[in-house]
Amino acid sequence: MAVARGICLRALTGAPKTRQQLAELLARKEIPEDAAATVLDRLTEVGLIDDEAFAEAWVSSRQSGRGLARRALTSELRAKGVDGEVAAQAVAVVDDEDERASARELVRRRARSMQRLDQATATRRLMGMLARKGYSGGMAASVVREVLGEAADAELYPDAD
């Protein structure tokens, strides 16, 4: 058990981990299941493993930093072994307006580098980027139209401010 505890503590010093991630690590290191379960239970008791806190921090970081939509965030959390209800609860803090604002910012940043492209190509690429980040087709189309429309208006009337 001391070996299992040491493996877990080393893994947790780098970054927070879910219980499943640590269980998989212990399995790869060929730690017996009963010893692994005992160590994981104890680390959970003392608060070193907290899937809810992990999920909340993950959502906050990935939504603001990478602009991921709720669907992508939920998928990532599930892949890391976070329970579906815990993932849904963590993702619930991101509302429709937060998601739309993130999508708008992503499109604005990316659209600058696409000024030389025709509108159809830029639209296709921007929608693809949003789809990869988990945004629905409807929201992606709406945001891309809105941002490209603003950019076109700014070019037609540069001194309108």
- Binned at pLDDT 50, 70 and 90, residue 28 comes out as very high
pLDDT of residue 157: 43
Look at residues 154, 153, 124, 155 and name the one whose alpha carbon lies nearest to residue 141. 124
pLDDT in tens, 103-124: 999 999 998 888 888 889 999 9
Quick check: 69 and 6 in contact, CB under 8 A?
A: no
Tokens standing for 143?
A: 């945001």
Q: Which residue has the tokens 């965030």?
A: 73
- 11: Cβ contacts below 8 Å, ≥ 6 apart: 17, 21, 22, 25
Which DSSP letter does residue 113 get?
T
Q: What is the pTM of this model?
A: 0.81
pLDDT of residue 155: 65
pLDDT in tens, 38-87: 999 999 999 999 999 999 999 998 988 899 999 999 999 999 999 999 99
